[in-house]
Amino acid sequence: MQISSEDFIFLIGLTSVIFLIAPVSLIIYVNLYNRRKKRHKEEKEQLKKDFENELLKSQMEVQEQTMQTIASNLHDNIGQLLSLTVVTLSAINPDDPDRVAEKVESASQLAKRSIKELRQLSRLIYGQELIRMGLADAIKFELDYLETAGLHAITFNSNYLNKEGQSDKEIILFRIFQEVLNNVIKHAAATAIDVTITQNDKRLNLVIKDNGKSFNAEEVLKEKRGMGLFNIRKRVQIIDGDVNIIATPNIGTEINIIVPY
**pLDDT string in tens for the chain (261-residue length):** 555 666 667 677 767 777 777 777 778 877 887 788 777 777 677 777 777 777 777 777 776 766 766 666 676 667 777 777 777 777 777 777 777 777 777 778 878 777 777 776 666 665 555 566 678 888 888 888 788 777 889 999 998 876 655 677 888 888 889 888 888 888 888 889 999 999 888 889 999 999 988 776 666 555 555 546 777 888 888 888 899 988 887 788 899 999 987
Predicted pLDDT of residue 257: 93
pLDDT for residue 10: 67
Q: Quickly name the fold that domain 152-261 has.
A: Heat Shock Protein 90 (3.30.565)
Contacts of 66 (CB under 8 A, 6+ apart): 124, 125, 127, 128
Residues in the chain: 261
C-beta of residue 199 within 8 angstroms of C-beta of residue 159? yes
Domain residue ranges in the chain: 152-261
Amino acid letter, residue 215: F
196, 247 contact by CB (below 8 A): no
